[in-house]
Amino acid sequence: MYEYSDEKIIESLKNGDDHALTLLFKKYWTSLFVVAHNVFKDKEACEDILQEVFLTIWEKRNELQIKTSLKAYLYACVKYEVYRQLKKSYSKQRIDDDLINSLEESATANNIEYKQLVETVSFAVDNLPPKCREVYQLSRQESLTHKAIASKMNISTKTVENHITKALKHLKLNIQTLFL
């Protein structure tokens, strides 16, 4: 397998010989993997990095100008690809962190607005006349029908409807003042 010199492999690559790429791959894969793994520590990521390096070499085979040894050139390619991936990973992590921070800030703001709304509604309900408050709570908190409320409070369903209407108007006014 190693009977071809690096110069012969490069020459064959430039001529479009895919067998030369296979030779290059077999000859340097292990040592290049070790170089990548010493920095990245992730087997699959290192394999992807090496695949990217060999693919780039194949795609740019006509432009190859190796002024050092092939081995040194390949090591440099792997090193640059590792650093490029680390930088990309770091940038992605930073973007993810920024997005999470933004969502947390938004959730906090929404949570504050929600708490204010709950407090306003609670305050408004507490300030309803006693019978109106009781009808509203039975309707909204216990999910009773108008008929069930009327039966439980010994009042007409029309009176229940009037209390609900009055309560909702009162709540609407209080909530509107919150957003003005």
What pLDDT, on a 0 to 100 scale, did the predictor assign at position 122?
Answer: 84
- Does the pTM surpass 0.85? The reply is no
The reply to whether 107 falls in a domain is no
Residue 150 has pLDDT above 90, yes or no: yes
In this prediction, residues 129-144 reach a mean pLDDT of 89
- Decide if 69 is inside a domain: yes
Say if 110 falls within a structural domain.
Answer: no
- Please report whether residue 29 resides in a domain: yes
pLDDT band of 147, cuts 50, 70, 90: very high
Q: Are residues 87 and 148 in the same domain?
A: no
Can you give the CATH number for the domain in which 27 is found? 1.10.1740.10
Confidence at 135, pLDDT banded by 50, 70, 90 = very high
- Mean pLDDT, residues 104-130: 77
Instruction: Give the Cα separation of 12 and 10 in Å (integer).
Output: 5
pLDDT tens for each residue of 80-91: 888 887 777 776
Domain boundary among 73, 96, 119: 96
The span from the CA of 163 to the CA of 167, in Å, is 6
Q: Where are the alpha helices (DSSP H) in 41-69?
A: 43-59
Residue 154's alpha-carbon distances to 63, 83, 131, 162, in angstroms, are 93, 78, 12, 15
Of 53, 77, 96, the last residue of a domain is: 96
Residues 27, 3: Cα–Cα separation, whole Å = 10
The distance of Cα 157 from the centroid of its chain, to the nearest Å, equals: 52
Domain count, the chain: 2
User: Residue 37 sits in which domain range?
Assistant: 6-96
Q: Report residue 1's pLDDT band, with 50, 70 and 90 as the boundaries.
A: very low
Residue 52 lies in a domain: yes
Q: Give the ranges where 15-156 is alpha helix by DSSP (H).
A: 18-40, 43-59, 70-126, 130-140, 146-153
Largest CA distance in the chain: 103
160: CATH? 1.10.10.10
Are residues 81 and 132 both part of a single domain?
no
Confidence of residue 110 (pLDDT cuts 50, 70, 90): low
pLDDT tens profile 20-69: 889 888 888 998 988 888 877 778 888 888 999 999 889 988 888 877 78
The Cα-based distances of 99 to 93, 96, 117, 157 in angstroms read: 10, 5, 26, 52
